[in-house]
Amino acid sequence: MSTALVTGPTSGIGEGFARRLASDGYNLVLVARDEERLERLAGELRACGVDVEVIVADLGDRAQLAEVEVRLRDPERPVDVLINNAGFSINQSFVGGDVEAEQSLIDVMVTPVMRLCSAAAPGMAERGSGAIINVSSVASFLPFSTYSAAKAWVTFFSQGLATALADTGVRVLALCPGFVRTEFHERANIEIDRSNDTWWLDVDVVVQEAMDDLRRGKVISIPGRAYRALVAGSHLLPRDVLRRAERLRRSRITGRR
């Protein structure tokens, strides 16, 4: 039976992947820092008849991150699918904001993706099969914030990794969703209008599109027609127009211009 490792599986897209993979018969390795929620989810997924291993780790801590790297390199317990999903957002302006919060974002959303891919990819390539899904964001195509910059790194890194692993049997996908109905924005204290269904996607839809695009051999997956159109249009707009749009968005969130 194949094994998948999922980071950040206790809510949102990560939980969606964990539940989908369990239903598909994958044994799971779940990695998160919230032990209570992690164990609760593991118990639910074991009821699907799969083995679930739990690793309690804060991926922003290099020592704890190293424990996950060791697990991915273990040749006796190979991991066939890696889902790099862990991440968060912060609701602040970079200028005058808490730089340590910005650093924490980088430490969780960039460094672990690089190191966990480095740990998993050689074994997958040697076995001639495997899949890596790095959860990025549609924000990676837009010049907005540290969050956008971090996700841009994930998107471009994934494309480079896919090239490096070409012809090895290992597939790599950067998943770039827009707004998804999860607790993500509430946890970041970001108030946002959820009334327009055009822009809001369900977790199951995002996961399904990612799995479909992975099977098709795509390297970038952008769930939802509206978002695919947005990304296509963003390449045609001048950068200053996009920056003005971001200033307007920020003013609505913070009440400042």
Model confidence at 187, pLDDT cuts 50, 70, 90, reads low
Cα–Cα distances in Å, from 19 out to 10, 11, 29, 115, 179? Answer: 10, 11, 12, 25, 20
CA distance linking residue 223 with residue 120, whole number of Å = 26
What pLDDT shows up at residue 29?
Answer: 98
Sequence-distant (6+) residues with CB within 8 A of 216 are: none
Choose, from 147, 157, 179, 227, the residue flagged as catalytic.
147
pLDDT value at position 88?
A: 86
Assess whether 26 carries a catalytic annotation. no
Query: Mind giving me the DSSP string for 1-68?
Result: --EEEEESTTSHHHHHHHHHHHHTT-EEEEEES-HHHHHHHHHHHHTTT--EEEEE--TTSHHHHHHH
pLDDT of residue 236: 47
- Per-residue model confidence as pLDDT tens digits over 99-109: 999 999 999 99
Residue 202, pLDDT score: 92
DSSP 116-146: HHHHHHHHHHHHT-EEEEEE--GGGGS---H
> For 3-254, which CATH superfamily applies?
NAD(P)-binding Rossmann-like Domain (3.40.50.720)
Mean pLDDT computed over 50-56: 98
Helices then strands, counting H and E runs in the chain, come out as 10, 9
192 pLDDT band, cuts 50/70/90, is: low
Average pLDDT, the chain: 87
Q: What is the pLDDT of residues 195-209, one digit of tens each?
A: 556 678 999 999 999
Q: How far apart are CA 52 and CA 44, in angstroms?
A: 10
The end-to-end CA distance of the chain, in Å, is: 55
State pLDDT tens for residues 33-51. 999 999 999 999 999 999 9
* CB count in 10 Å sphere of residue 58: 16
pLDDT tens-digit profile of 132-178? 999 999 999 988 789 999 999 999 999 999 999 999 999 999 999 98
Q: How far apart are CA 139 and CA 29, in angstroms?
A: 28
In degrees rounded to 5, what are phi and psi of residue 181?
A: -75, 85
More confident of the two residues 223 and 182: 223
- Amino acid in the structure at residue 47: A
* 185: pLDDT strictly greater than 70: no
